Structure 1
Amino acid sequence: MTRNDVSGTIGRGADRTSVVPRRALRDGVYDAILEKLLDGSTPPGSSLSIDSLARELGVSPTPVREALVQLEHTGLVSRVALKGYRVAQPLSPRQMAELIDTRTVLEVAAVERAAAHADDLVPELRAAHAQHVLSAHQVRKFRGEGGHPTGFADLREYFAADWEFHLTIIRAADNRFLLQLAESLSAHVHRLRQTVDHGAMDVDQAVSEHAAILAAFESGDPQRPVEAMRAHMTALARRSAVDV
């Protein structure tokens, strides 16, 4: 091996190892901007300056620009020619209804398939539900006198636990394309959370409806989980229509 071969190999190895920190930085910037979009500190229509965000987060403009490109795909931000990025308007009532309708089609299909694996699914679903119950308790604990959580940070774990309950079922359907569709929808679910008034969060209702879904899987009747998930989605659509 020549010296050039050696240096070329070292260089390629260094490039590979540098990918991970860069990806971690980009993901961290993405999460930080996402939190700003969802906690109400950047209202709809606000401009998002790449340079200002970079200074605020203590990073170069590059990961900020990459994060905003990702966020554009979620619909949370929009890019206006010659004006840069802006915070998108919340979901309209029609968009909200369409999103929940899409989730209903996908998640009912997933439940139908997951019911065949109920014995393996139930222990994992119990664990996911327990985490959801715990995070819901934390949200209630930190609510102020007016019924509002102290901030998005208090809600982040709750949102993650709520979505993980649904993903546990979708993964049990054992269909990679259903899972990919669900993961692509998760970004749009952020917009639903942005739209719904956090002060009117459906914590108690969601926990109760998840408990009913778990009990339906535990029953061994393959039709009961389908009915429970459909009821949950119908209730979610009704609450979302009220909050818009």
Structure 2
Amino acid sequence: MTSKETSLSDKPRPRTPVVPRRALRDGVYDAILEKLLDGSAPPGSSLGIDPLARELEVSPTPVREALVQLEHTGLVTRTALKGYRVAPPLSPGQLAELMDMRCILETAAVERALPHADDLVPELQAAHARHVLAAHRVRKLRGAEGRPADFADLRDYFTADWEFHLTIIRAAGNRFLTQSVESLGAHVHRLRQTADHGTMDLEQAVGEHAAILAAFASGDPEQPVAAMRDHLEAVARRVSADG
């Protein structure tokens, strides 16, 4: 074997890039998640790998990987010989546990965010303004019928609502606390879908967020925790009433 042949054989073979594959899987995950949250794949409906692959114009592999990921969130279930299905609505017990966990984590975040109130208040004002604007748009969409045609009309409102909470949580300055709360995001959307109350508590949610903002601006260290607890307890009551 010549030295030239040796150098060619020793030349490392190009590796298949990992990032594009991961980006494709993440894109498929987001697309399926959107179907779960916008109501086009209702609870209990089948999630066939091949039909989803055809719909999204991808191979079955990233669809299968995305469904495995979604199974870990609890949004999707898998049954032997039957495949994947959209998870059933949250039970009353699960709803109560979810709200209890939110109260534990979010009041802890408020306590830890208090020392940063001077920086937090302007950011919270901006987040609240986006929430108010999103609520206004939903009211317009409701019109005389009293309800938007589908879940998609509420997506921006739900995002703004959740972002108000995340603004406080990030201000707590604890990455693990932030990760814990963010991991609940899909379940919070599932809660809304289960309770089907998103169009009914606009005024209450906006008013309660305003009270939280005012509590942070007051400088009183006890008011923000009490306002957040009052808000989450009120959400839990509304969810329970709808359930």
- Taking structure 2 as the reference length, the TM-score comes to 0.90
Structure 1 residue runs without a partner (length 5+): none
Paired residues, number: 237
Structure 2 residue runs without a partner (length 5+): 1-6
Partner of 1:160 in structure 2?
Answer: 159
CA offsets, 1:187-223, max 9 Å, x none?
2212212202156431111111111101110111111
Instruction: Assess, with a 3 A threshold, how the Cα gap between structure 1 residues 129 and 81 changes in structure 2: closer, same or farther.
Output: same
Instruction: Assess, with a 3 A threshold, how the Cα gap between structure 1 residues 27 and 144 changes in structure 2: closer, same or farther.
Output: farther
Partner of 2:4 in structure 1?
Answer: none
Partner of 2:145 in structure 1?
Answer: 146
Instruction: Assess, with a 3 A threshold, how the Cα gap between structure 1 residues 27 and 203 changes in structure 2: closer, same or farther.
Output: farther
Cα distance in structure 2, aligned partners of 1:137 and 1:25: 35
CA offsets, 1:33-82, max 9 Å, x none?
22222333333221110100111122211221122112112211100012
Cα distance in structure 2, aligned partners of 1:181 and 1:97: 18
Partner of 1:237 in structure 2?
Answer: 236
CA offsets, 1:152-196, max 9 Å, x none?
222211111111111110111111111111111112212212202
**8 Å CA contact 2:38, 2:150 repeated in 1:** yes
In structure 2, the residue corresponding to 1:143 is in which secondary structure? helix
Cα RMSD, aligned residues only: 1.8
Partner of 2:32 in structure 1?
Answer: 33
In structure 1, the residue corresponding to 2:89 is in which secondary structure? coil
Partner of 1:180 in structure 2?
Answer: 179
Cα distance in structure 1, aligned partners of 2:36 and 2:238: 22
User: Among the aligned pairs, what percent are the same residue?
Assistant: 75
Instruction: Assess, with a 3 A threshold, how the Cα gap between structure 1 residues 199 and 102 changes in structure 2: closer, same or farther.
Output: closer
Partner of 1:112 in structure 2?
Answer: 111
Partner of 2:207 in structure 1?
Answer: 208
**8 Å CA contact 1:149, 1:199 repeated in 2:** no
Match among 15, 26, 41 for residue 17 of structure 2: 15
Kindly provide the amino acid, as one letter, of the partner of residue 75 in structure 2.
Answer: L
In structure 2, the residue corresponding to 1:40 is in which secondary structure? coil
**8 Å CA contact 2:117, 2:216 repeated in 1:** yes
Query: Which structure has the greater CA radius of gyration?
Result: 2
User: Runs (4+) of structure 1 moved beyond 4 Å?
Assistant: 2-8
Cα distance in structure 1, aligned partners of 2:36 and 2:200: 17
Instruction: Assess, with a 3 A threshold, how the Cα gap between structure 1 residues 242 and 53 changes in structure 2: closer, same or farther.
Output: same
**8 Å CA contact 1:108, 1:229 repeated in 2:** yes
Cα distance in structure 2, aligned partners of 1:163 and 1:157: 10
- Taking structure 1 as the reference length, the TM-score comes to 0.90
Kindly provide the amino acid, as one letter, of the partner of residue 49 in structure 1.
Answer: G
Cα distance in structure 1, aligned partners of 2:175 and 2:130: 25
CA offsets, 1:209-242, max 9 Å, x none?
1111011101111111001000000100000001
Q: How far did residue 138 of structure 1 move?
A: 1.5
Instruction: Assess, with a 3 A threshold, how the Cα gap between structure 1 residues 168 and 145 changes in structure 2: closer, same or farther.
Output: same
